[in-house]
Amino acid sequence: MPTKTASKSVPMTASAASRIQSQAAKIGGGQVAAGTFAARAQRAAALNNAAGKTSK
């Protein structure tokens, strides 16, 4: 049975979310639908930024 390795959690940053959303918009004809990974990434980055978990 394989052993689990602990992965280090890294908060979503605004720049990472921006890159994800940009690619999703290119694929989606300029639109990013609610509930997609790109939208969730953007929300996570905003929450992390408001909580002071990331630097600019």
pLDDT of residue 44: 95
pLDDT of residue 53: 84
Cβ atoms of 38 and 24 within 8 Å: the answer is yes
Cβ atoms of 47 and 54 within 8 Å: the answer is no
pLDDT tens-place string over residues 10-22:
899 999 999 999 9
CA distance 52 to 19: 20
Cβ atoms of 11 and 54 within 8 Å: the answer is yes
pTM, 2 dp: 0.75
Q: How many CB atoms lie within 10 A of CB 20?
A: 20
The fraction of the chain above a pLDDT of 70, given in percent, is 86
CA distance 31 to 35: 12
pLDDT of residue 5: 67
pLDDT tens-place string over residues 26-48:
999 999 999 999 999 999 999 99
